[in-house]
Protein backbone atom coordinates (compact mmCIF):
# COMPACT_ATOMS: atom_id res chain seq x y z
CA UNK A 1 0.00 0.00 0.00
CA UNK A 2 1.45 3.36 -0.91
CA UNK A 3 1.58 5.91 1.83
CA UNK A 4 1.47 9.67 1.42
CA UNK A 5 5.14 10.47 1.46
CA UNK A 6 4.45 14.13 2.11
CA UNK A 7 2.62 13.45 5.35
CA UNK A 8 3.96 12.23 8.60
CA UNK A 9 3.04 8.57 8.73
CA UNK A 10 -0.40 8.04 10.29
CA UNK A 11 -1.39 11.71 10.17
CA UNK A 12 -3.65 11.27 7.18
CA UNK A 13 -5.91 9.01 9.27
CA UNK A 14 -6.12 11.65 11.96
CA UNK A 15 -6.84 14.45 9.52
CA UNK A 16 -9.64 12.49 7.84
CA UNK A 17 -11.18 11.63 11.19
CA UNK A 18 -10.96 15.30 12.24
CA UNK A 19 -12.68 16.48 9.07
CA UNK A 20 -15.42 13.89 9.39
CA UNK A 21 -15.94 14.86 13.03
CA UNK A 22 -17.46 18.11 11.72
CA UNK A 23 -19.88 16.62 9.19
CA UNK A 24 -20.39 13.51 6.99
CA UNK A 25 -18.78 14.01 3.56
CA UNK A 26 -18.05 12.05 0.42
CA UNK A 27 -14.53 11.23 -0.78
CA UNK A 28 -14.24 14.14 -3.19
CA UNK A 29 -15.37 16.63 -0.54
CA UNK A 30 -12.93 15.22 2.00
CA UNK A 31 -10.06 15.72 -0.45
CA UNK A 32 -11.24 19.26 -1.18
CA UNK A 33 -11.57 20.09 2.53
CA UNK A 34 -8.04 18.80 3.21
CA UNK A 35 -6.61 21.17 0.61
CA UNK A 36 -8.73 24.12 1.80
CA UNK A 37 -7.89 23.75 5.47
CA UNK A 38 -4.19 23.28 4.93
CA UNK A 39 -4.13 26.03 2.29
CA UNK A 40 -2.85 23.51 -0.24
CA UNK A 41 0.16 22.69 1.89
CA UNK A 42 -0.94 19.17 2.44
CA UNK A 43 -1.74 18.01 -1.04
CA UNK A 44 -3.11 14.52 -0.69
CA UNK A 45 -3.39 12.59 -3.91
CA UNK A 46 -6.69 10.83 -4.50
CA UNK A 47 -4.64 7.66 -4.88
CA UNK A 48 -3.87 7.81 -1.17
CA UNK A 49 -7.17 9.13 0.10
CA UNK A 50 -9.47 6.32 -1.02
CA UNK A 51 -7.43 3.37 0.29
CA UNK A 52 -7.16 5.26 3.59
CA UNK A 53 -10.95 5.70 3.71
CA UNK A 54 -11.53 2.00 3.03
CA UNK A 55 -9.05 1.06 5.71
CA UNK A 56 -10.74 3.33 8.27
CA UNK A 57 -14.12 1.85 7.33
CA UNK A 58 -12.75 -1.65 7.73
CA UNK A 59 -11.49 -0.79 11.22
CA UNK A 60 -14.88 0.53 12.19
CA UNK A 61 -13.75 4.13 12.79
CA UNK A 62 -15.91 5.54 10.03
CA UNK A 63 -19.00 4.20 8.42
CA UNK A 64 -20.26 4.69 4.87
CA UNK A 65 -23.69 5.33 3.42
CA UNK A 66 -24.87 5.89 -0.14
CA UNK A 67 -26.77 9.19 -0.41
CA UNK A 68 -27.72 11.64 -3.14
CA UNK A 69 -25.45 14.66 -3.35
CA UNK A 70 -26.53 18.23 -4.32
CA UNK A 71 -26.60 17.52 -8.05
CA UNK A 72 -28.71 14.43 -7.57
CA UNK A 73 -25.65 12.27 -8.00
CA UNK A 74 -25.41 9.19 -5.76
CA UNK A 75 -22.26 9.28 -3.67
CA UNK A 76 -20.76 7.38 -0.77
CA UNK A 77 -20.85 9.57 2.36
CA UNK A 78 -18.58 8.79 5.26
CA UNK A 79 -19.33 9.68 8.89
CA UNK A 80 -17.48 9.20 12.18
CA UNK A 81 -18.44 6.32 14.48
CA UNK A 82 -18.19 6.14 18.24
CA UNK A 83 -15.04 4.08 17.89
CA UNK A 84 -13.67 6.68 15.43
CA UNK A 85 -14.29 9.52 17.86
CA UNK A 86 -12.32 7.70 20.54
CA UNK A 87 -9.53 7.01 18.08
CA UNK A 88 -9.48 10.69 17.08
CA UNK A 89 -9.10 11.79 20.69
CA UNK A 90 -6.26 9.35 21.17
CA UNK A 91 -4.48 10.41 18.02
CA UNK A 92 -4.98 14.11 18.70
CA UNK A 93 -3.44 13.94 22.15
CA UNK A 94 -0.69 11.79 20.73
CA UNK A 95 -0.07 14.34 18.01
CA UNK A 96 0.00 17.20 20.45
CA UNK A 97 2.57 15.41 22.57
CA UNK A 98 4.76 14.50 19.66
CA UNK A 99 4.50 17.87 17.90
CA UNK A 100 5.24 19.70 21.17
CA UNK A 101 8.31 17.56 21.65
CA UNK A 102 9.45 18.01 18.09
CA UNK A 103 8.96 21.80 18.07
CA UNK A 104 10.83 21.91 21.38
CA UNK A 105 13.74 20.14 19.78
CA UNK A 106 13.59 22.39 16.70
CA UNK A 107 13.68 25.51 18.90
CA UNK A 108 16.56 24.13 20.89
CA UNK A 109 18.54 23.77 17.70
CA UNK A 110 17.86 27.40 16.75
CA UNK A 111 19.09 28.75 20.01
Q: Measured from the CB atom, is 90 or 99 closer to other proteins?
A: 90
Q: 83: alpha, beta or left, given left = phi > 0 and alpha = psi -120 to 50?
A: alpha
DSSP 34-96: HHHHTTTSS---HHHHHHHHHHHHHTTSEEEEEEE-TTS-EEEEEEE-HHHHHHHHHHHHHHH
For residue 21, the 8-state DSSP code is H
Question: Which of 7, 11, 18, 51 is the binder for other proteins (CB under 8 A)?
Answer: 51
Q: How far is the CB of 51 from other proteins (least distance, A)?
A: 4
Q: Measured from the CB atom, is 83 or 102 closer to other proteins?
A: 83
Q: How far is the CB of 59 from other proteins (least distance, A)?
A: 5
List residues binding other proteins (CB under 8 A). Answer: 1-2, 26-28, 31, 45-47, 50-52, 54-55, 57-60, 66, 69, 71, 73-76, 81, 83
Amino acid sequence: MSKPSDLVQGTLDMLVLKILALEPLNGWAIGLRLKQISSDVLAVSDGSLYPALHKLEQRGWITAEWKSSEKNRRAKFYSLTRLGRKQLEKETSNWNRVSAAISGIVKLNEA
